């Protein structure tokens, strides 16, 4: 018999370990408002926040210093002077600053970290919300925001479980490099897409019959071909053989014979016009597109070196590269984007935190106290979410290589789940498996995945696609990825 008597309405509940919340107390709280040319800092002692009237911290002096070596040296000197006159140590200072513009705050972060101060970031939108909604302060100035950040640090230390304030660790140097490179590539790819669209519009006037030879008028080979023959009128006196050779030189060797024949048949009757202004603009746009294309190739080579290392330069592969490339579908661009977003997987305690950070977790649709179903979260890193959507869409579309993931998708569809929702579930599943792989240092095992998902094993699931067109479904994935609050912020949540 148990020592405890059984009484009416008694029940047995397993003992739960209480999560111990450890918190460290600081003597000074420093807020730094970041600007392009200068920064503003407030250093407020703990006692100032305990003023019954709540005004002492609001009246604390601030320091304005330039965003250069002289200004930063003066800021460090002010911190050291505070240490000396109060007998404090560096670990008794909690410093909060904004990640404004990505790079504007980076130098300040690194200098303070090298000096062994405890530095955290707080999102710009969080400062505004806390100032207006929590403190009821409508005034907006650099000095006010610096004081508010110091207050946020003090408030978070007293209430560690408060969700309104998230203290975030600065990104590591390696993570910043990966994140910046993939972001630059994305921006350049956006510019290239715009130029290609402009070329296609111009070709409807200068080369109206080019569509009979090429399906994609925005391809690089078409643009190189048009550089040699800017208008349809320039092709009228050319033989089919000359046109074929020009196509081969432009890089369209596979379709050159068939395309040249089709084009040679229609160019004698071409009505394309030779408008100097349009032709000149067309040449400029094509030159710009080709330049961007070459720049993207250079970035891709750099990404390859970051991921796989370079023995000649003595650089080693990234530790996550081998694990990521055991996935059925993976590319260098995807891997670099994911590593740039994730950083160190050890900073995530659960896969739910991981999914939310990557922007593929579900959240309730709520209005007031009413909950109206669930939706994909709007928070998270949009770059990572876009990659996960691309991966999901390619896995589904590649029917020649079925995988455990594609079987899982079709099983969701068989439950009458609509396609967009099912793709969202796929992204969440990919994120969960990525978390497990990186956390445990294990390669992707399709057999274990199939067993866990209750899917009958087939040896075809064990195949890998070595070369992935990472641009495939790019536009579709971009639409599904939607908006984000974290595009230009490189953060790690504590």
Q: What is the 3 state secondary structure string of 141-159?
A: CHHHHHHHHHHHHHHHHHC
Pairing of strands 370-376, 93-97: unpaired
Q: What is the 3 state secondary structure string of the chain?
A: CCCCCCCCCCCCCCCCCCCCCCCCCCCEEEEEECCCCEEEEEEEEHHHHHCCCCCCHHHCCEEEEECCHHHHHHHHHHHHHHHHHHCCCHHHEEEEECCCCCCCCHHHHHHHHHCCCEEEECCHHHHHHHHHHHCCCCCCCHHHHHHHHHHHHHHHHHCCCCCCCCCEEECCHHHHHHHHHHHHHHHHHHHHHHHHHHHHHHHHHHCCCHHHCCCCCCCHHHHHHHHHCCCHHHHCCCCHHHHHHHHHHHCCCCCHHHHHHHHHHHHHHCCCCCCHHHHHHHHHHHHHHHHHHHHHHHHHHHHHHHHHCECCCCECCCCCHHHHCCCCECCHHHHHHHHHHHCCHHHCCCHHHHHHHHCCCEEEEEECCEEEEEEECCCCCHHHHHHHHHHHHHHHHCCCCCCHHHHHHHHHHHCCCCHHHHHHHHHHHHHHHHHHHHHHCCCCCHHHHHHHHCCCCCHHHHCCECCCCCCCCHHHHHHHHCCCCCCCCCEEEC
d(CA 274, CA 477) in angstroms, rounded, equals 39
**What is the reported pLDDT for 2?**
47
Q: What is the fold of 28-170? A: Nucleotidyltransferase; domain 5 (3.30.420)
**What is the reported pLDDT for 7?**
42
* Cα dist from 430 to 354, 404, 435, 449, whole Å: 11, 11, 9, 11
**What is the reported pLDDT for 84?**
94
The structural domains of the chain, with segments of one domain joined by +, span 28-170, 178-296, 322-489
* 283 in Cβ contact with 316 (< 8 Å): no
Mean pLDDT, contiguous 10-residue spans, the chain (494 residues): 45 44 80 93 95 92 94 96 94 88 79 92 82 89 94 89 72 80 89 93 90 90 93 88 93 92 86 78 95 95 93 90 90 91 84 83 58 60 86 83 86 86 87 92 89 83 65 58 42 37
d(CA 221, CA 290) in angstroms, rounded, equals 10
**What is the reported pLDDT for 384?**
86
**What is the reported pLDDT for 175?**
79
pLDDT in tens, 219-274: 999 999 999 999 888 888 889 999 999 999 999 999 999 999 999 888 888 776 66
**What is the reported pLDDT for 11?**
40
**What is the reported pLDDT for 76?**
96
**What is the reported pLDDT for 170?**
77
pLDDT in tens, 81-118: 999 999 999 999 999 998 765 578 888 988 999 999 99
The domain over range 178-296 is classified in CATH as 1.10.3470: no
- Which residue has tokens 């403190």? 135
**What is the reported pLDDT for 105?**
85
**What is the reported pLDDT for 94?**
95
* Global confidence as pTM: 0.71
**What is the reported pLDDT for 400?**
76
**What is the reported pLDDT for 434?**
93
């Amino acid at each position: 018999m148990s020592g405890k008597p059984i009484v009416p309405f008694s029940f047995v509940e397993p003992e739960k370990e209480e999560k111990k919340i450890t918190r460290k107390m600081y003597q000074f709280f420093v807020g730094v408002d970041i600007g392009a040319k200068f920064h503003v800092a407030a250093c407020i002692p703990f006692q100032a926040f305990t003023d019954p009237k709540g005004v002492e911290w609001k009246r604390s002096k601030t320091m304005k210093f330039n965003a250069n070596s002289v200004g930063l040296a003066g800021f460090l000197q002010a911190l050291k002077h505070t240490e000396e006159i109060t007998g404090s140590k560096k670990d008794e200072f909690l410093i909060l600053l904004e990640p404004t513009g990505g790079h504007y705050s980076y130098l300040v972060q690194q200098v303070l970290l090298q000096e062994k101060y405890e530095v955290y970031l707080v999102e710009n939108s969080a400062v505004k919300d806390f100032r207006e909604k929590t403190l009821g302060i409508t005034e907006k100035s650099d000095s006010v925001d610096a004081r508010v950040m110091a207050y946020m640090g003090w408030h978070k230390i007293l209430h560690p479980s408060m969700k309104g304030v998230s203290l975030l660790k600065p990104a590591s140097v390696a993570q910043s490099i990966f994140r910046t490179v993939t972001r630059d590539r994305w921006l350049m790819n956006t510019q290239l897409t715009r130029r290609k669209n402009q070329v296609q519009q111009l070709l409807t006037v200068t080369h109206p019959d080019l569509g009979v030879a090429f399906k994609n008028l925005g391809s690089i080979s078409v643009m190189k071909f048009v550089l040699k023959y800017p208008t349809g009128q320039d092709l009228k006196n050319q033989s089919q053989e000359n046109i074929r050779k020009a196509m081969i030189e432009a890089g369209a060797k596979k379709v050159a014979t068939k395309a040249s024949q089709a084009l040679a048949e229609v160019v004698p009757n071409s009505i394309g016009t030779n408008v100097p202004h349009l032709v000149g603009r067309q040449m400029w746009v094509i030159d710009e597109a080709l330049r961007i294309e070459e720049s993207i190739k250079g970035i891709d080579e750099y990404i390859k070196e970051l991921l796989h290392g370079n023995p000649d330069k003595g650089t080693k592969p990234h530790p996550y590269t081998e694990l990521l490339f055991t996935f059925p579908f993976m590319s260098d661009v995807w891997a670099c984007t994911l590593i740039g977003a994730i950083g160190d997987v050890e900073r995530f305690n659960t896969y739910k935190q991981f999914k939310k950070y990557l922007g593929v977790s579900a959240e309730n649709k709520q209005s007031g106290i009413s909950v109206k179903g669930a939706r994909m979260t709007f928070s998270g890193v949009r770059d990572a979410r876009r990659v996960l959507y691309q991966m999901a869409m390619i896995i589904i579309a590649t029917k020649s290589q079925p995988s455990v993931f594609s079987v899982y998708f079709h099983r969701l569809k068989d439950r009458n789940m609509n396609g967009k929702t099912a793709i969202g579930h796929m992204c969440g599943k990919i994120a969960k498996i990525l978390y497990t792989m990186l956390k445990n240092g294990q390669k992707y095992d399709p057999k274990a995945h199939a067993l866990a998902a209750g899917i009958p094993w087939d040896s075809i699931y064990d195949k890998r696609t070595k070369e992935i067109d990472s641009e495939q479904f790019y536009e579709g994935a971009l639409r599904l990825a939607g908006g984000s609050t974290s595009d230009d912020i490189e953060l790690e949540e504590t």
